[in-house]
Structure 1
Amino acid sequence: MSTIKYILGSFGDPDEMMHGIDKLQENNIAIYDVFTPMPIHGIEAKLGVPPSRLPIVAFLCGLLGFTLGFSLLYYTMVYDWPMNIGGKPAFAMPNFVPVTFEVTILITALGMVSVFFFRNHLFPGRAPRVMDFRATNDRFVIAIDAQENTDHTKIESLLKEAGAIDVLHNERKYVSYE
């Protein structure tokens, strides 16, 4: 069995890379991932990437923040230390709005950042996972799983026809900076 894990097609132009994706998909070759130095509009739909579930996480974090903020105010102003200030009731809703809103925003922002770092494996001290270092600079890289797609010469020829500058065979999943 071959030790090659991935076939990497390196492109110099995003349009050529999109053409390469089309050629590979026409020939029923599964694409593992695509690495680009800049965002490319419409690539998620072309690769069949499902929509992000980050809005659901944001809603849940916001709900948690709202609950914590409102509970803190209710406990301190109504239950634990009720005060009569200017004849107003202890449970006056307009007084609760600013603090509850700010705590909701704070918990949502911190939760989203935490989930982003966790989901993308960006823990402190962790080496970045990069398949081809040129993808962080000026190249557009298509990664194809070589174990799943066994006809390597066909894949190479399709990538070259689409305008690939280089076709590399990667024996490791990721290259680290160390």
Structure 2
Amino acid sequence: MGVLQKFINQFKKPEGFFGRVAGLLMAREPEKSAWTVSLLNPAESDRALEVGFGPGRAIEILSQKITEGYIVGIEISEVMLRMARKRNKKAISKGIVDLRLTDVSNLPSFEEKFDYILSVNSIMFWEYPVHVLKNLRNHLKPNGKIAITVHPRMKRANNETAKEFGKEIDHYLREAGYSENQIHIRKMKPVPCVCVTAVNRMET
């Protein structure tokens, strides 16, 4: 495996030197995280869960909105966990943010369900996305909302790539039992970013 491929693979589970570099690159692009949070528009007392929080940008943005509630993040990379804890040190000390090292396929138990669930550039690494989304739905309150964002950065990605990602995520969400799906496209560099939002209208 070449050095470039090793570096690309770090975006799945960042480790070591290349993992830290990947985390720094992700942290330099907060726009997609801010956009995703804005589509959810959480209130100050809400509960939110982020899957695959990376360097903790979206967690940081959420903590500026959810000042009286509770934010949980799960991540499989120890490198990202350390970076995110450093970035969100104050919110963690206040008990607003709780960051955990775990895999989305092995969700921990939570005391209460969440108003919002979000994931940014993570779903492409899930082995069984529909199964994961069904499990996440079990942790979402009735009428709670989920947002799944992907910013396609693979070679030759273009506007159509973003649209195709949106259609695929929309399909996964419908298969998992969500409804009122909406595909959102936002112009970003070098290609547009897509976020699909959906609602849990049924009691789980």
Q: TM-score scaled to structure 2, two decimals?
A: 0.24
- Where relative contact order (Cα < 8 A, 6+ residues apart) is larger, the structure is 1
Rg larger in 1 or in 2?
1
**Greater share of strand residues, 1 or 2?**
2
**Greater share of helix residues, 1 or 2?**
1
Q: TM-score scaled to structure 1, two decimals?
A: 0.27
